[in-house]
Amino acid sequence: MAQNSRASILTREHRAVYRLLDLRLSRLFNADSPALLQGRLLGLEKEALRVAPDGYISQVPHPRALGAALTHPFITTDYSEALLEFITPPLAGAEATLAFLDGIHRFVQPRIGDELLWSSSMPCILAGEASIPIADYGSSNLGFMKHVYRRGLAWRYGRIMQVIAGIHFNFSLPDAFWAAFQDQEGDRRAPQDFRSESYFGLIRNLQRMGWLILYLFGASPAVCKSFLDGKATALPEFDDHSYYGPYATSLRMSNIGYTNRTEKKSGVNVCYNSLPEYLSSLTQATRTPWPPYERIGVKVDGEYRQLNANVLQIENEYYTSMRPKQPPRGNEKPVDALRKRGVQYVELRSVDINPLEPLSVTASQLRFLELFLLFCLLQESPLLDAEERRLIDDNQMAVALGGRDPALMLQRRDGAPLLLREWAADIFRCLQPLAELLDLGDSGRPYAAALAEQHEALLDAERTPSARMLTVMRDSGQNFFRCARQLSEQHRAYFQSRPLDEEQTRFFTQAAERSLHEQAAIEAADAVSFDEFLHRYFTG
């Protein structure tokens, strides 16, 4: 067994706060850590709007050449028929993950004609709610259920918010790590239970410190005025066509973006203190009617407006910065998959599309996210109470709207307010030994390099993607829309200049053709009405 012992780099003060982290790191360094951590898997889900040449959201149906959105494993749609979603399988390492995502882009680009893949999280010019086509998944009961769910989102929250795009980062650790970690902890629970509760500890810490992701990777400091659709806003004007936040990092994650939901008003209080509590609170929200949604109606004049009138139609309606995940089997509900088989991986949902990068995310970013999520796993993670949940929400909003303000103060559960930079510096000190751990045996030290790159952005906010985006807008004299369109055109040229080889083209073409056959088979196999299908799904 390799011995990779190290001295603690944490100061005495930090060891007091991060004592358990220090102990766990020491154990990992003294174990065969490279072998234990090999096999960790990454995955990406990237959303991208198809935009017509006139700069408005595409009205063209999902191209058949891309396959069936219902069944394609790599190319599907999110809320809108025009909102593509590219999905990589779980892969080992940032380079392999980005290479697969690159292949999807190079397959898709020549198959969408003269349309652009929008380069930003915040959308193109919108001509109101009605201009956003809801995704269609064919005539099967399963496909129609997905469509009706999206109708419900439109009735509840409006369509405009649903076409904000983002990056989802999926992360899991291998069985060998979990076995060794459980042994080091002296934990005697069933391995599945230990793994699930450890992932929930990671999620709680991600919520506490996830504001750092918004600071470092937020890339949506400006928005087209059409997104507000005439609504009042406190954001200043960048010009006649754009709003912006002078210190904003992620308007996507602010009160004009995903977080602007009525879920809290309706009593959604999902608990992350354990898997059973999470499942119970989420299930309750999917079974509890809410009067405003009852007033919308479910099936009105023979037409479905929503799946039901409950606080949440289905579990996925609850928006959060991170989800525990277990792939469902067949038509299995996500909560049932988690209840039966525990947490298999976590999905981080708070990463913006980086308009300055053709793939919207870099290998350095992915390596930093690995470090950060490992830190969230290994650091002590107390249970969350209502007061800390309030602090978490306040911190996220403060960083989304003003994270680059050098005087910004954040709140911790166990102390006085402190500067964002001071808290972030604490976290970076803890990430250094994790970078050493993941770099063992690699002379290139890519994790140390990723950490150093983000540390520069901590020291100089002008290096963050949000600041760089505003700089490009100012230097080019362009508003948000024109700047994002120009970047989208540059990215299109980049992918068009690198066509896939014959083998890669065959791989994605065959995947598209299989998905069309699979959708047809699902449609042919339907034997009950949609009403009966829904009844069985929700009561089964």
Q: pLDDT by residue (tens digit) across 311-346? A: 999 999 999 999 999 999 988 999 999 999 999 999
- Look at residue 530 and tell me whether its pLDDT is greater than 70: yes
- Look at residue 30 and tell me whether its pLDDT is greater than 90: no
What number is the average pLDDT over the span 145-169? Answer: 97
pLDDT (tens digit per residue) in 486-513:
999 999 999 999 999 999 999 999 999 9
Mean pLDDT of the chain: 94
From residue 188, alpha-carbon distances to 152, 183, 185, 192, 343 in Å are 44, 8, 9, 11, 18
Are β-strands 299-300 and 242-244 bridged in parallel, bridged antiparallel, or unpaired?
unpaired
Residue 430 is encoded by which pair of tokens?
Answer: 């803890």
- Look at residue 217 and tell me whether its pLDDT is greater than 50: yes
- Each domain of the chain, given as residue ranges in start order, spans 12-267+345-539
What is the percent of the chain with per-residue pLDDT over 90, rounded to a whole number? 89
- Look at residue 264 and tell me whether its pLDDT is greater than 90: no
Residue 77's pLDDT band (cuts 50, 70, 90): very high
φ/ψ region of 354 (left if φ > 0, alpha if ψ in -120 to 50, else beta) reads beta
What number is the average pLDDT over the span 339-367? Answer: 98
What number is the average pLDDT over the span 171-184? Answer: 96
φ/ψ region of 11 (left if φ > 0, alpha if ψ in -120 to 50, else beta) reads beta
Residue type present at position 103? G
Q: Give, rounded to a whole angstrom, the gap between the first and last alpha carbons of the chain.
A: 49
- The residue among 350, 349, 332, 348 whose CA lies nearest residue 340 is 332
Q: Note whether 71 and 519 are within 8 A (CB).
A: yes
Q: Give per-residue burial for 162-193: e unless 16+ CB within 10 Å, then b.
A: bbbbbbbbbbbbbeebbebbbeeeeeeeeeeb
Residue 2 pLDDT: 41
In degrees rounded to 5, what are phi and psi of residue 17? -80, -35
What is the spatial distance between Cα 419 and Cα 409, in angstroms, rounded to a whole number?
Answer: 4
N residues, the chain: 540
Strands (E) in 183-293, as ranges, are 222-224, 237-239, 242-244
Residues 6+ apart with CB under 8 A from 70: 76, 137, 138, 140, 142, 143, 146, 515, 518, 519, 522
Residues 6+ apart with CB under 8 A from 23: none
What is the spatial distance between Cα 175 and Cα 38, in angstroms, rounded to a whole number?
Answer: 10
CA 53, 59, 63, 66 dihedral sign is positive
Are β-strands 116-117 and 303-304 bridged in parallel, bridged antiparallel, or unpaired?
unpaired
Residue 15's pLDDT band (cuts 50, 70, 90): low
Residue 29 pLDDT: 86
- Look at residue 103 and tell me whether its pLDDT is greater than 70: yes
Dmax over CA atoms of the chain, in Å, equals: 71
- The residue among 115, 43, 46 whose CA lies nearest residue 355 is 46
CATH of domain 12-267+345-539: 3.30.590.20
Q: Note whether 484 and 355 are within 8 A (CB).
A: yes
